[in-house]
Chain A
Amino acid sequence: QVQLQESGPGLVKPSQTLSLTCSVSGGSISSDGNYWTWIRQHPGKGLEWIGFISYSGNPYSNPSLKSRITISLDTSNNQFSLKLSSVTAADTAVYYCARRVRSTYYFDSWGQGTLLTVSS
């Protein structure tokens, strides 16, 4: 089973671009059929699907965030990343990375999450 671990700055100022990284161990990020996903949880709220990038580098994002999102692969470090531009306080959340396997519709491995706070 793969293991995932998020990392990020913890605090970002409004209007800046946040950058988060998910390190994957126990398997290659470019292994056929893996879809690497970002999910977030606003304080006291439920989960929100942000988007994913495929093992071959094809991204897909939640339309509500699409214009601000970049998801990319870093195969040399076995990581994938999320960049979210023009952040506001509404982007304050715990951000999780997770894996979905092709032809399945669930997330079988998750990271522990990293809290990102947007504040001046």
Chain B
Amino acid sequence: QSALTQPASVSGSPGQSITISCTGSSSDVGAYDYVSWYQHHPGKAPKLMIYDVTNRPSGVSNRFSGSKSDNTASLTISGLQAEDEADYYCSSYASGSTLYVFGTGTKVTVL
């Protein structure tokens, strides 16, 4: 099972919206609505931001939203804030023996 493909970096100015893509295959992202997104500030525990493609856990800002089309999932951050600067990883449940695959990670920079 190959890793999901994400852009290495995405940047935006405060207040802007950015979108991070996560491209997989018909065996993972395209097969299930079980894509999740994690925010990771280095040295801290990763934090669940989106689950099941579009759902936000309690306490996560509604500036974060998720979507999916075919084999590509996306995370959109609207109203970008300085605190959003972090690494973001997608994950998907997958068919086969490797049950979970992760993305390559995207570094978000707030200009």
Give the size category of A's interface with B.
20 to 34
B103 at the interface (CB under 8 A from A): yes
How long is the Cα–Cα vector from A53 to B43 in the complex, in angstroms? 25
Partner of B102, one of A46, A108, A110, A112: A46
Most B C-beta atoms less than 10 A away, residue of A39, A47, A98, A108 = A47
A31 at the interface (CB under 8 A from B): no
Partner of B98, one of A49, A98, A105: A49
Kindly report which residue of chain B lies nearest to residue A63, judged by CB atoms: B97
Q: What DSSP secondary structure best describes chain B's contact surface?
A: loop
B64 at the interface (CB under 8 A from A): no
Complex contact A110–B46 (CB within 8 A): yes
Name the A residues within 8 Å of B99 (CB-CB). 49, 60
- Looking at the assembled complex, report how far the CB atom of B11 sits from the nearest CB atom of chain A, in whole angstroms: 19
Kindly report which residue of chain B lies nearest to residue A48, judged by CB atoms: B102
Most A C-beta atoms less than 10 A away, residue of B6, B46, B57 = B46
B residues engaging A (CB < 8 A)?
3, 6, 32, 34, 36, 38, 43-48, 51-52, 57, 89, 91, 93, 97-105
Known: A46-B3, A105-B52, A112-B44; 16 extra A-B contacts, CB below 8 A, are: A45-B105, A46-B6, A46-B105, A47-B89, A48-B3, A63-B98, A98-B46, A105-B34, A105-B51, A106-B51, A106-B52, A107-B46, A107-B91, A108-B51, A108-B57, A110-B45
